Chains A and B, each alone.
Chain A
Amino acid sequence: MMDVALAGDTARPVPSQRLFSGAGLLALPLIVLLAVVYVCPVGVMLADSFTDPQPGLQQYQRMIEHPVYLEVLARTFRLAAVVTLATAICGFPVAYYLTIARPAVARTALGLLFVPFWVSTVVRTYALMVILGRTGILNGALLWAGLISRPAQFLFHTATVQLAMVQILLPFFVLPVYAGLRTIDRSLLSAAEGLGAPPWQVFRRVYLPLSLPGLCTGALMVFVFCFGFFITPTLLGGRRDVTIAMLIMAQFEGQLDWGFGAALSTVLLACTLLAVLMMLRVAKQDSNR
């Protein structure tokens, strides 16, 4: 530990002063690509929200005047919060288990965790519809077992959307958290125990605080993804499960109201950035404590 501490004091890498040193040049293709397909469009969109159809703040005014838009925003926020929390509760034990499992077991489990990445979100969402639908596997099983007499309606509930999103986003949470937990020195846990801390206190006073940076990263990933989630709420949700992403889609595709769509997108972007900043602050505060 002393080595680490010393390295932190003296050997912290000094950021290069030259913008394009040899290594920096390697990132050039990506920078160009991002500039063309990301920075420019976002800039255009930002501009559109203030200029389309005529210059002014009327698009934002419209958003405030009609409570339905803010409601959708609040609902999206709530959905993201619930899914993030549920993912954390399901994912934290898994990430912890991976750190204590035998290496071979951990490798296999990590591999299994990656499998869903190979299947697109659309396919996974449809698969859930096959399972949960009126004539789906779950209803079939329940009918066969005689537990229900008529097919139940599992689809088009908020809870279904949340369940599906947790399932899809779990790997995005587990991986950064696992990476974070792995760096926790296990002798600290022994030390705490030896100094008189019962297991629960070891977790609360030592393990949990040390896992916070990883937890924040994982939660942030999930939260940001949730906030812009589109496919799953569209396919699995009911009419009440409209998210801001669906609303934006409708403006561009259905209403052809690009100005308002751009304004909604700007708000989504601003909210996401706000969430990122908040999380970063929590993580930083913790590492500075």
Chain B
Amino acid sequence: MNMAADLGITGAGVRSGACLVLDRLTRRYPDGTVALRGLSLSVPAGRIVSLLGPSGSGKTTTLKMIAGFDKPDSGSITLAGRDISRTPPHMRDIGMVFQNYALFPHMSVFENVAFPLRMRHRARRDIETAVQEALALVELQGVAARLPRQLSGGQQQRVALARAIVFRPQLLLMDEPLGALDRQLRKSVQSELKRLQRQLDLTVVYVTHDQEEAMFLSDEIAIVQNGQIVQCGAPAALYDAPGSVFVAGFLGESNFLGGTLAEAGAGRALVTLPGGRQMRGRSAAPMAAGQAVSVLIRPEKLQVHVASHAPGCEVNVLRGRIDLVNFLGGAVEYEVDLDGPRLTARVYLRASAATFAVGDPVVLHVEPQDCLVFLTP
């Protein structure tokens, strides 16, 4: 059931978000730097897709291309089946929330939100109701007469959002919209955003460099590196099966152990660590014995036992000493020195969980399916 219809948000009937397809976009700036190298992405209607990547990876350029503030050298942008690559920004029907909100400082909150409707020559009465509804959606009914600078950062952010959705665009773009908010506020705005997106059935492209935000918000995450999308998928899929060391390192926290491949086949791998110890894991890509590899272990997959603990088997057992203890509230992070390599283990604090102090000898254990083996790049 669509709550937007119940609320009567629409003026002219509910319009769902449209699907967006980016096909092999390239962009080289006049100074020679290449921003995009054949970036392709498909955003299904009604979904939030995050572009996640380090700064300079091309995610903001991609957003600018979609909005029309920059033109690709080659490739095409298709929105709801229509090629908009050469359409000027004001004819694209795309809402955008800017990093700094870009609220018009000389207009009241009401006028800011009414702006896209006025540009579309809507009737005065329709504008009035649509603006009030949009402000109600972001819970800002009381401040319509105020100027943006009389609002807090969080309120400004919500005005920017109301302004971007009031004309029911086919697509909503968000460029690190929560970057300027403090952590507490960010959490609640993220939930709000998710609720709104479901409620209005919006298609959203969300740019961020905050992996937690991306995982929290997105139906799909596209990891951007060097002007290309290196992997795209649901957050859980990307987290559990990253396709490369870069993706693994960028999404979630990771331990990497370097070693040499001893045996490989059928998605399994046996790795010899420098000290002679061996580890079993799974591998996604084909690789041959003797190649240098990295073993990825997520911190929460490591089990920490007292040194006297005798594991059932000797596979994937590592002995070491606690080097640092970091208290995180609901969890504790142990940095364990393995006589050379170091691993970080995260233990969630339950009544049964044993706790350790700096200097304690410990045994670490990890299941083979939680060890991902990559060729060392």
Is there contact, CB below 8 Å, between B150 and A196? no
Instruction: For the complex, give the distance between the alpha carbons of A3 and B106 in Å.
Output: 17
Is there contact, CB below 8 Å, between A195 and B101? no
Give chain A residues whose Cβ lies under 8 Å from the Cβ of B102.
Answer: 1, 185, 187-188, 190-191
Q: Mask for B147-182, Cβ within 8 A of A = 1, else 0? A: 111111100100000011001000000000000100
Give chain A residues whose Cβ lies under 8 Å from the Cβ of B164.
Answer: 195
Pick the contact of A210: B94, B106, B119 (CB < 8 A).
Answer: B106
Distance of A98 from chain B, by nearest CB (Å): 21
Q: Mask for B118-160, Cβ within 8 A of A = 1, else 0? A: 0110000000000000000000000000011111110010000
Is there contact, CB below 8 Å, between B148 and A5? yes
Whether a CB of chain B sits under 8 angstroms from the CB of A51 is: no
CB < 8 Å A-B pair total: 93
Pick the contact of A2: B100, B104, B115 (CB < 8 A).
Answer: B100
Whether a CB of chain A sits under 8 angstroms from the CB of B103 is: yes
Instruction: For the complex, give the distance between the alpha carbons of A185 and B103 in Å.
Output: 10
Is there contact, CB below 8 Å, between A197 and B119? yes
Whether a CB of chain A sits under 8 angstroms from the CB of B243 is: no
Whether a CB of chain B sits under 8 angstroms from the CB of A205 is: yes
Give chain B residues whose Cβ lies under 8 Å from the Cβ of A185.
Answer: 100, 102
Q: A2-B180, A185-B102, A205-B115 are in contact. Are A194 and B96 (CB under 8 A)?
A: yes
Q: Mask for A1-44, Cβ within 8 A of B = 1, else 0? A: 11111101100000000000000000000000000000000000
Pick the contact of B101: A1, A199, A287 (CB < 8 A).
Answer: A1
Is there contact, CB below 8 Å, between B119 and A187? no
Instruction: For the complex, give the distance between the alpha carbons of A198 and B116 in Å.
Output: 11
Instruction: For the complex, give the distance between the alpha carbons of A238 and B335 in Å.
Output: 91
Instruction: For the complex, give the distance between the alpha carbons of A194 and B64 in Å.
Output: 10
Within 8 A of A (CB), among B72-101: 88-96, 98, 100-101
Distance of A203 from chain B, by nearest CB (Å): 12
Whether a CB of chain A sits under 8 angstroms from the CB of B259 is: no
Whether a CB of chain B sits under 8 angstroms from the CB of A206 is: yes
Instruction: For the complex, give the distance between the alpha carbons of A207 and B14 in Å.
Output: 33
Instruction: Tell me the dominant secondary structure on chain A's binding face.
Output: helix
Point out which of B91, B102, B147 has the most chain A C-beta atoms below 10 A from its C-beta. B102
Q: A2-B153, A205-B115, A286-B106 are in contact. Are A197 and B101 (CB under 8 A)?
A: no
Is there contact, CB below 8 Å, between A193 and B104? no
Q: Mask for B277-288, Cβ within 8 A of A = 1, else 0? A: 000000000000
Instruction: Tell me the dominant secondary structure on chain B's binding face.
Output: loop
Q: A8-B149, A187-B98, A195-B115 are in contact. Are A210 and B105 (CB under 8 A)?
A: yes
Closest to A189 in B: B102
Whether a CB of chain A sits under 8 angstroms from the CB of B258 is: no
Distance of B148 from chain A, by nearest CB (Å): 7
Q: A190-B69, A191-B98, A191-B102 are in contact. Are A5 and B115 (CB under 8 A)?
A: no
Within 8 A of B (CB), among A196-245: 196-199, 201, 205-206, 209-210
Instruction: For the complex, give the distance between the alpha carbons of A86 and B3 in Å.
Output: 57
Closest to A2 in B: B153
Number of interface residues of B (CB under 8 A): 37
Is there contact, CB below 8 Å, between B104 and A206? yes
Give chain A residues whose Cβ lies under 8 Å from the Cβ of B106.
Answer: 209-210, 286-287, 289
Whether a CB of chain A sits under 8 angstroms from the CB of B53 is: no
Whether a CB of chain A sits under 8 angstroms from the CB of B247 is: no
Give chain B residues whose Cβ lies under 8 Å from the Cβ of A197.
Answer: 90, 115, 119
Is there contact, CB below 8 Å, between B90 and A198? yes
Distance of A204 from chain B, by nearest CB (Å): 11
Whether a CB of chain A sits under 8 angstroms from the CB of B19 is: no
Q: A6-B153, A190-B69, A209-B106 are in contact. Are A196 and B100 (CB under 8 A)?
A: no
Is there contact, CB below 8 Å, between A194 and B148? no
Within 8 A of A (CB), among B204-225: none
Q: A2-B100, A188-B102, A206-B104 are in contact. Are A195 and B156 (CB under 8 A)?
A: no
Give chain A residues whose Cβ lies under 8 Å from the Cβ of B148.
Answer: 1, 5
Give chain A residues whose Cβ lies under 8 Å from the Cβ of B153.
Answer: 2, 5-6
Is there contact, CB below 8 Å, between A196 and B156? no
Instruction: For the complex, give the distance between the alpha carbons of A141 and B102 in Å.
Output: 54
Is there contact, CB below 8 Å, between B69 and A195? no
A-B contact pairs, 12 of them (CB 8 A): A1-B102, A6-B152, A9-B150, A187-B102, A190-B67, A191-B102, A191-B104, A192-B104, A193-B69, A195-B163, A195-B164, A199-B90
